[in-house]
Amino acid sequence: MKYQRPPAKHIEIPVASLGDIAFLLITFFMFCSTFSRTGGGKIAPPQSPHLTQLLEGKVSVDIDEEGKIYVQGQIVPDANAVETSVSILIEGATTDQGKTVMFKCDKHVTKQVFEPVLGAIAKAGATIAALGERPTDKQETQP
């Protein structure tokens, strides 16, 4: 007697909940990721061999190559707005890390642009951590 295979059964996969699963995965990855707090401009930080590793502060102030000022990724009009924003953001901070402002400035920005911003951060009562890059072996450092 020859064995006969039973007819193939049609199996349906429920797809009604796939949209919910995709939404939950997107939400999970958004909560687990770190979003960039820098502004939309391009910033080429200055280089120095004398850099130390810092713990990242919760407040960031950036100045891009066009001289636009960003606090927490949002454009602000001037140094007075920087002072107000930073003082609000560090209000209630009890540790030095809570009062640290990560300052990143493009290396081509002039002193007339970044100096008032540094003064505004200091007036707000924050500690300034200026960010830069270590030069590679092929690049020369400026004194």
pLDDT by residue (tens digit) across 34-77? 665 555 556 656 555 655 555 566 788 999 888 899 998 888 99
Pair of tokens at residue 131? 């960010």
**How far is 104 from 114, CA to CA, in rounded Å?**
10
60 within 8 A of 71, measured Cβ to Cβ: yes
Is the per-residue pLDDT at 136 higher than 70? no
Which pTM was predicted? Answer: 0.58
